[in-house]
Structure 1
Amino acid sequence: MQASPTTYPPGAVRMRPMLDALARNWWVIMLRGVLAILFGVLAFIWPGITLLTLILLYAGFAFADGALSLIAAVRGGTPTPRWWLALVGVMGIGVGVLTIFYPQITGLVLLMFIAAWAVVTGILQIYGAIKLRHEIEGEWWLVASGVLSVVFGGLLVAWPGAGALAMVLVIGSFAIIFGGLLIGFALRLRKHAAVRI
């Protein structure tokens, strides 16, 4: 006997476990966005920054962003799969630790680590948005941040020999736009969390 599909009365709130888990922690995603914007602004206003200093600064950002992603994955409170968010967190922490504790690695190698992190993180965010597409309207914020991250990583791979000024422009611009997209997504999650209360 085939079970009938679940129907919801008018005005009822549907169960959306993955979205609900993220919405409860919207503030963590907001912090990621604010941190990215602060990093981007700092990259632009810091006079005479060297490429190595910029990369180390970015490593600190990657570490903090990874820690916040891991918190969002662990604090979900439901058994819904959030492995993609946890993987984003572990990768960010890994890149941050590797870069900070092994600064003797050449700037080019560090740049390639950051590029790889950006590409994989972007792909995972796009995956997360695809998983959320049936649960929320406006998942494009997460898709856009993922695409931006992949493009950013691709730019770093395509022009690894660019000067420090060019890297400041690319990395700083990426961080500010990425942060804005994350904040937009966090506000969508906050709106959903308010509706659920």
Structure 2
Amino acid sequence: MRRQLMWTLVLRGSAALLFGIAALVWPGVTVLALALLFGAYALVDGLALLTSAFRKEGDNGHRLAHAVGGFLGIAAGVITIAWPGVTALALVTLVGAWAVITGIVEVWAAVRFRRELHHEWLLFLAGAASVIAGVLIWTRPDVGAITVAQVIGLYALISGALVLGTAWRLNGTIAAHSAHHARHA
């Protein structure tokens, strides 16, 4: 279970970093390109969470949190890709809502599974960064696509690094657990 969770976190963190870099390197992208980039990112993140939700290991609460986050990510990705010509305000609202909801789910998961993760503070920080980015985006939807791209890109980089940090720490826990069992076998 821990190894699969680690790889889910690696996939999510890597997707966030790639999206963040793209959004910061090309901040002048059109709203259409930004929408497509965000749609692809939300879709990959949602699929990773949904895949994690259907694992046989873990309790129902954990799987439910991942399922909700996964369905919301997939929905946000599909809606954004299906209607990439949405106005900047609609895109900002969608991105803000997704960031706040995803952040709340990550904070909830970090608190709920602190005994399993052992370094849940990284996942908690990723969730908090997501909520803060979503609120910032909502409070200033009029700033334009370039600023939105920069805020989203910065959020994605921070979130991706924190999620990858959680995966790295979880990998250390897995290795220590395996070494402990090998010594006592």
Would you call these one fold, judging by a TM-score over 0.5? yes
Aligned residue in 1 for 2:183: none
The 1:156/1:189 distance shift into structure 2, 3 A limit, reads same
Is residue 2:169 matched to residue 1:188?
yes
Provide the secondary structure at the position in 2 that maps to 1:134: helix
Deviation at 1:135, TM superposition (A): 3.4
| Contact 2:39 2:80 survives alignment (8 Å) | yes
- 2:67 is matched with which residue: 68, 86, 89? 86
Distance 1:136 1:28 in 2: 13
Distance 1:56 1:120 in 2: 20
Give the unaligned 5+ runs of structure 2.
179-185
| Contact 2:13 2:164 survives alignment (8 Å) | yes
Distance 1:156 1:144 in 2: 18
Q: Deviations over 1:136-182 (max 9, x none)?
A: 42110110001000001101100101122212221111111110000
Distance 1:48 1:131 in 2: 40
RMSD: 1.7
Give the unaligned 5+ runs of structure 1.
1-20
Provide the secondary structure at the position in 2 that maps to 1:105: coil
Distance 1:78 1:165 in 2: 41
Distance 1:135 1:43 in 2: 33
Distance 2:116 2:5 in 1: 16
Deviation at 1:102, TM superposition (A): 1.8
Q: Report the TM-score, using the length of structure 2 for normalisation.
A: 0.88
| Contact 1:37 1:176 survives alignment (8 Å) | yes
Provide the secondary structure at the position in 1 that maps to 2:61: coil
Aligned residue in 1 for 2:105: 124
| Contact 1:55 1:111 survives alignment (8 Å) | no
Distance 1:163 1:106 in 2: 11
Give 4+ residue runs of structure 1 displaced > 6 Å after superposition: none
Deviation at 1:189, TM superposition (A): 1.5
Aligned residue in 2 for 1:171: 152
Deviation at 1:183, TM superposition (A): 0.1
Count of aligned pairs between the two proteins: 177
Distance 2:83 2:172 in 1: 42
Q: Report the TM-score, using the length of structure 1 for normalisation.
A: 0.83
Q: Deviations over 1:29-52 (max 9, x none)?
A: 111111111111112223731133
Aligned residue in 1 for 2:37: 57
